[in-house]
Structure 1
């Protein structure tokens, strides 16, 4: 198991760091602290850190095509977020009949369609679901009955969607049609005992899947057949997600959580590791900002 990392210097530690997203437009890495209710940014050119306090749990952000506003997932639903000046404009609430749920993890597919999941914020029921939001504003529920949704990620060609139920230790794979509809779900990876649980994911340019291990203290790379290729160990217990960043997409940033740990100084930090491969350029959501 490889050990090659640096820690991004911050006085703070994330309670539940998640959702790292690389902004090509601004040269900035964004990520969230869900439980800490804070959005963070790191400008790579000068290592400038910024953060914004949020009025509720913020679960992810992505860029939007043709707009400086971010699209964000909150406990209450999806909203447009302007940072300068700071304004939140609610867009939709996909689960009005599930008041105990919150959103959890999202990514945009190669066509510009947003995919996002939900979970029971009390961790009591398997009430999570997988949704898509297209450029016209239409929301579809594609799959249901998750304990903890995580991921999602896509093959380089955009013909496969990977999605995780962390509570069950499973990474699923779905055929993804050009029309945005999913084919039959199959189990792609079952995490072994001692690995922890699969959390956030990303795909590299070679079609390999990188998965964060919640409770497993590492990030692992799996080949297109679901076989373990290699792992990179990190000095934090709950590793939550990862993304490629930088002008050449050859840097990888990894989030972690201090939640449900011994509270050591490495828990909840932002790591940078050397992946040895390049990633896929992130796609902006194709819908129009409000």
Structure 2
């Protein structure tokens, strides 16, 4: 067994008292860290040169699960996001959200799944209102992958989750169905393996990946978190290891490409949601959604930071091609 390297964090980097902090993203060009609060429907941005006092928050009006940067002439100063009803842009200055591809709509209270113009007869009339987007990532060809799941504010968890792929030409592709909580995802250095977490199952899966076509195949289990904690989001470092947040586990674990735990960060709160690299510093989001724990879990829903001595894998940008 390899020796497990250990770190511990005793206090937050930013005391925010959030509800469900997720989706941390380091914008290296701006030296900014942004992250979301899904339940509070907020986007938060930090200037890391200035520190916690630089926090700016935007009320988006719908939950956002993940964000990404855009490459190419878009004509505005926006980021790309996976929001309540689909893929969208958010203006960096105003926080205004504009849908690129609205997959779900609850117009007139009706269910409408507009993916490829098809109606799914198995969906209930409340499908659109009880679905939201969660985690995602952008591949090496600039395609934006993001998974939908039950919006737990309005419904019980089901396996209606779907992983979608939005291509630069704005075409949509349904990649994986029957997921419960699609979460952390990324690609290996060779760009021939996709990692995808399905939190409720406790599994991180891998798929063979064709970078040219975006096709995935041959699912198998890469790593399983045993017991009560569940794998949430993850960050990948430049050595190919995954830094996996453990929901209910008070930890981030470092998992090698050989699926071995080689590192562990102790976090002083129960529900750890995701991690993101800024240089060799790992920023870690958490949640405060356990009513029974709120009285003694005083660090729940706050942002943490620890230097782990390794850098993260570079981020890809969404290659947005505006339609004429």
TM-score normalised by structure 2 residue count: 0.84
Look up the match of 2:27: 23
Give 1:9 shift: 3.0
Give 1:208 shift: 0.7
Whether the 8 Å CA contact 2:188–2:240 is kept in 1: the answer is: yes
Q: Distance in 2 between matches of 1:86 and 1:167?
A: 31
Question: 1:134/1:260 Cα in 2 relative to 1: closer, same or farther (>3 Å)?
Answer: same
Say if 2:187 is the partner of 1:182: no
Query: Looking at CA atoms only, which structure, 1 or 2, has the larger radius of gyration?
Result: 2
Say if 2:71 is the partner of 1:65: yes
Q: For 1:185-224, what aligned pairs fall within 5 Å after superposition?
A: 185-194=219-228, 196-224=229-257
Question: 1:25/1:123 Cα in 2 relative to 1: closer, same or farther (>3 Å)?
Answer: farther
Could you give the per-residue CA deviations for residues 12-70 of structure 1, whole angstroms, max 9, x where no partner exists?
31100000011122110010000011000111111111100111112221111135301
Q: 2:7 aligns with which of 2, 19, 27?
A: 2
SS in 1 for 2:200: helix
Could you give the per-residue CA deviations for residues 245-268 of structure 1, whole angstroms, max 9, x where no partner exists?
1xxx21110100001251122000
Give 1:159 shift: 1.4
Gaps of 5+ in 1: none
Whether the 8 Å CA contact 1:156–1:203 is kept in 2: the answer is: no
Could you give the per-residue CA deviations for residues 103-133 of structure 1, whole angstroms, max 9, x where no partner exists?
0011111221111101111233110011111
Gaps of 5+ in 2: 1-5, 105-111, 114-126
TM-score normalised by structure 1 residue count: 0.93
Could you give the per-residue CA deviations for residues 226-258 of structure 1, whole angstroms, max 9, x where no partner exists?
11112111001000001111xxx2111010000
Whether the 8 Å CA contact 1:5–1:272 is kept in 2: the answer is: no
Q: Distance in 1 between matches of 2:11 and 2:315?
A: 23
Question: 1:5/1:124 Cα in 2 relative to 1: closer, same or farther (>3 Å)?
Answer: same
**How well do the aligned residues superpose, as a CA RMSD in angstroms?**
1.6
Runs of 4+ off more than 3 Å? 95-98
Look up the match of 1:91: 100
Whether the 8 Å CA contact 1:23–1:29 is kept in 2: the answer is: yes
